[in-house]
Amino acid sequence: MMLDTVARATSTPELNQPWRELGLKEDEYQRIREILGRRPTSSELAMYSVMWSEHCSYKSSKVHLRQFGEKAPKSDALLVGIGENAGVVDVGQGYAVTFKVESHNHPSFIEPYQGAATGVGGIVRDILTMGARPIAILDPLRFGPADAADTKRVLPGVIAGIGGYGNCIGVPTVGGEVIFDDSYSGNPLVNALCVGVMKHEDIKLAKASGAGNLVVLFGAKTGGDGIGGVSVLASETFDDKKATKRPAVQVGDPFTEKVLIECSLEIFKEDLVVGIQDLGGAGLSCATSELASAGTGGMHVELDRVPLRDANLSPEEILMSESQERMCAVVPPEKVERFMELCKKWDVVATVIGQVTSGKHLEITWHGELIVDVPPRTVAHDGPVYNRPFTRPSWQGELVANGAENLPRPRSESALADAILTLISSPNISDKSWITSQYDKYVQGNTIAAGPCDAAVIRIDESTFLGVAVATDCNGRFCKLDPYEGTQLALAESFRNVAVTGAKPLAITNCLNFGSPEDAGVMWQFAESVRALADGALEMGLPVTGGNVSFYNQTGAVAILPTPVIGVLGVIDDVRKAIPYKFSGVKELILLGETFEEFSGGEWAHLQGHLGGLPPRVDLKREMILAQFMHAQRDFISAAHDLSDGGLAVALIEMLLHSQMGAKISIHGDPFTQLFSESTGRILLAVNPEDSNYLVGKATDAGITTTRLGESGGENLEISGVLSMSMLHIREANQGTIPALFTA
């Protein structure tokens, strides 16, 4: 096939191009022609089409995401904000921490193991790119019903893939979520969050500046991974059905990533790069155009220098390839020799593929012929922006009118006990250690707390005991009932999970998983969700440091529950003071916060097959008061656990199971409400009996409602006048479910 050079594009302006097959709209194609003043070459068309895709350009979400900047609270902690690969916050003592979540939903549905594995690989490289050592992974996951045949295919593969990659690169997987719901049947969610740590002076940015600096590609060789549709460009004519079939499935090589991490960190330590970018979605197209666009604009790349795994790749395919475990660095010429030495030490393939120029264009040649000549900003940053229509769906009113508060409630001792057993053995609530035990939580030797617990706690300095706490959360049912409240509830819960460790919450990240933006109802959910998060972040004084948007999560016309996963990161000055999740010995159990009749969207209602009504009311100010209290009183709290899915019944049982304890408590008012309500802003504490008066006094001073529940001890859960159940029985019910469903 004839090479489509810039010269050829100029001389054959009317050549028919497969822009539609590549997902471009007619007006988008026309805009490209206007920008270039000619038709694009096939390589340029490939670059624009993929960089202007929803995934890379955020064309439907941009207008909403702007609120994170516009409403941003003043934060001294924010060192690098939205726009870079991941945001960076100051955690003190000269340390900076970066964290971000990303989705790999669709690939994980097609090939669960590799989809999840490469999802982890991708987010870890984003963190590494900032100059940081990756120190923890969290994996918020959503699957179809636990007993569905396809869940048996998807879940074990996803878990093995996350473990297979994370364990092998030596980053502990320490938290996340596993939630089952019908709406995810044909569209599981595989989100991955990574946390990294660095010194302030080691922060790296993705920009190519300084004419004469060299562009170096390093890591794995480039193969035909993930270029699917673009291969039409490599065929004789784009309607030639013989187009080479390229694998849409990317395969991860965690060993190469591990070596890339160590090699990159040594390169950073010697200050050998002026800019760096990982190769993720859209591969070299994205890396070169973003680096150039964020710099001074000029870059020259000799594409034929790219080391290939498959010698038959066309230039268009090389530009598009999503082969994993690759990075692109901008290196001053005098430092390139040392750069290459370090790559050699780690046996990492590294190749100079071009240089920064003083011009304004990104020029790419293939064996000396010019095939790309574009202003890089137009590719990377000035993509289309859509103001998509959004309207509250017509069914929303009916949905919220039908609250779970009206369902018949269990009243008798046996009915309440049954409800408890059903709840704690249900797939969403039941023990997940079959899953978490497939993850290495000990590697790096800094794990203070890892799932199952509210937030993972990781030490970042061995001598000062500085550390961070991280959690992710989202109840998609709450978000369906009210995307605004639901999103703030997710923020509140994630925040509270960090707060119960005694950490000071510092920053927010998010992964917004929604259906099709072309559906006005879904777009409304999205718009409400972003508005809620921006408002909530402002109210709490926490910056949103980055995130990810995943649209088109639906099966046919049916969208998933709106699932804005919110991650919160906090700092702990001394991890030895982190409040644990389990305790030993006899403790007094105290509930902080108020309980209302709030069941809609909750776990109990879900088990009745009910979804309707309004979610619990959220009060972010109260959450902040609770957090301040937890931090201030951490020396007097033996253990703490936040109340969420399944209310007090579940929180209490989880805490007792982990502490291998029973308890004798009493509750006042309607037992069902006390046990199953999912009112937010509540925390269960275990405290030494001699400290309880003091603590209750302090809480009252802070305006926090307290309820003294009773004491731990014994082998039963006794709720006086209500029920008594054996903890052994409870444990069996809680632990049996997941292994029974998923053991091969």
Partner 1 sequence: MRVGVVTFPGTLDDHDAARAVRFAGGEALSLWHGDSDLQGVAGVILPGGFSYGDYLRCGAIARFSPIMSAIIPAAEKGLPVLGICNGFQVLCESHLLPGALTRNSELHFLCRDQEIEIVNNESAWTSDFSNGERIIIPLKNGEGSFQCDDRTLNELESNNRVIARYVGLNPNGSRNSIAGITNARGNVVGVMPHPEHAVDPLTGPTADGLAFFTSLMKTRI
Partner 2 sequence: MAKVIVDVVLKDEILDPQGDAISRALPRMGFTFSPTSVRQGKSFIITLDHEPGSDELSEIEKAAATLLSNPVIESFSIRVEN
- Residues acting as catalytic residues: 55, 104
Stretch of residues binding partner 1 (CB under 8 A), selected from 220-228, 364-372, 438-446, 631-639: 438-446
437 binding partner 1? (CB under 8 A): yes
* Pairing of the two strands 78-80 and 275-278: unpaired
End-to-end alpha carbon distance in the chain:
49
| Alpha-carbon gap, residue 702 to 698, rounded angstroms | 6
**Binder of partner 1 out of 87, 144, 161, 164 (CB under 8 A):** 164
Longest dimension (CA), the chain: 89
85 belongs to the binding site for Mg ion (CB under 5 A): yes
Q: How far is the CB of 46 from partner 1 (least distance, A)?
A: 32
Question: Which position among 90, 126, 363, 431 is part of the footprint of Mg ion (CB under 5 A)?
Answer: 126
The binder of 68, among ligand ADP, Mg ion, partner 1, none, by C-beta within 5 to 8 A per type, is ligand ADP
The answer to whether residue 526 forms part of the interface with ligand ADP (CB under 6 A) is no
Q: Which of ligand ADP, partner 1, partner 2, none does residue 447 bind to, with CB < 5 to 8 Å depending on kind? A: partner 1
Asked if residue 126 binds ligand ADP (CB under 6 A), the reply is yes
Q: Work out how close the CB of 650 gets to Mg ion at its nearest, in angstroms, rounded to a whole number.
A: 37
**Cα–Cα dist 358/344, whole Å:** 30
Query: Interface mask (CB under 8 A) for partner 2, residues 223-262, using x and -?
Result: xxx-------------------xxx-xxx-x-xx------
Closest CA to 639 of 622, 654, 620, 624: 654
353 makes contact, choosing from Mg ion, ligand ADP, partner 1, none, with CB < 5 to 8 Å by partner type, with: none
Give min distance, CB of 735 to partner 1, in A.
13
User: Quick one: 85 or 525, whose CB is closer to Mg ion?
Assistant: 85
Residue choice 100, 258, 622, 682 for contact with partner 1 (CB under 8 A): 258
Burial class of residue 37 in the structure, from the number of CB atoms within 10 Å of its CB (0-12 exposed, 13-18 middle, 19+ buried): exposed
Question: 548 is in the binding site of which of partner 2, ligand ADP, Mg ion, none (Cβ under 5 to 8 A by kind)?
Answer: ligand ADP
CA distance 511 to 566: 7
The beta strand positions in 303-417, using DSSP E, are 326-331, 350-356, 362-366, 369-374
Question: What SS3 string covers 12-28?
Answer: CCCCCCCCCCCCCCHHH
Q: Which does 207 bind (CB under 5 to 8 A by kind): partner 2, Mg ion, partner 1, none?
A: none
Name the nearest CA neighbour of 321 among 206, 244, 214.
244
How many residues at the interface with partner 1, by CB under 8 A?
36
Q: Which stretch binds ligand ADP (CB under 6 A): 82-90, 208-216, 363-371, 517-525?
A: 82-90
Smallest gap from residue 278 Cβ to partner 2 (A): 17
Strand partners, 95: 92, 199
Q: Which helix (H) or strand (E) holds 377?
A: helix 376-380
Residue 625: count other Cβ atoms within 10 Å of its Cβ.
18
Q: How many CB atoms lie within 10 A of CB 66?
A: 13
In whole angstroms, what is the distance from residue 14 CA to residue 304 CA?
28
Closest CA to 545 of 492, 494, 506, 509: 509
Of 80-88, 124-132, 381-389, 430-438, which segment contacts partner 1 by CB under 8 A? 430-438
- For residue 84, the Cα-to-chain-centroid distance in whole angstroms is 16
Shortest Å, Cβ 121 to partner 2: 12
* 3-class secondary-structure state, position 330: strand
Can you give the binding site for partner 1, defined by CB under 8 A?
Answer: 159-160, 163-164, 167-168, 170, 253-256, 258-259, 262, 346-347, 433, 436-448, 459, 462, 575-576, 743-744
Can you give the binding site for partner 2, defined by CB under 8 A?
Answer: 110-111, 114, 223-225, 245-247, 249-251, 253, 255-256, 309-310, 323-324, 347, 744
